[in-house]
Amino acid sequence: MYAKEVQKELFRLIERESEVQDWDDELRQIMYYLNYNSVKVLTYHAHYISSLLDRSETRAEKIETLSFVLKKINQSQVKPGIRYNQNGSPLKDQLNIYIAEEIDYQERLQQLSNSSSDRSPDSFLPGFKLKFEASVSQLAYLLRIFMETKFIINNNLSQVLHFLVKYVITKRSETISYGSFRSKFYSVEAGTKESVRSMLVSMIQYIDRA
């Protein structure tokens, strides 16, 4: 019965051949959908996740990658009442445990690294933060403008965001959430664009008067 279900899903995938952009991802979705809870599938995911982590340059990027994979797995559909190994735990549960442990490990390493850097004689003045008159939304959009126009030439967005949330505050926020800052970087409201435009125009007018 399980083999027939696999065959059916593979035929459906082949029928959508022209739409498929990532065959590996499509096959993983079938694994989740059919609850293919075998040891080999878990081993495959261990290698797959390791390959993603190898491409991440920083500890923060590794954590972000793991969180994204976990989110994608949890949002995938599962066909009710089916599993490859009737006595085994659901595939999603196995992957959740594996990825959560990996995230915990990476976060512990990051904390150790941060503690070491904080003790470094070259670290920033204790407690010092750069305060902006702009709101978090405005600051995020300004950063996006600077990066997309190559005024800031750092290519690693994750590193830039982590740096700013650690050393920057705004007039309304003493602490800035990384997740919120990243979200506002990508999702910009019309009001934010207009207010940032006004800020930049005011700066240009100041230059003209000087």
Cα-to-chain-centroid distance, residue 58:
13
Averaged pLDDT of the chain: 87
Q: Indicate the residue type of 54.
A: D
Q: Taking residues 62-86, report their average pLDDT.
A: 91
pLDDT of residue 173: 77
Query: pLDDT of 146-183, one tens digit each?
Result: 999 999 998 888 888 888 988 888 877 778 888 888 88
Query: pLDDT of 81-107, one tens digit each?
Result: 999 999 999 999 999 999 988 888 888
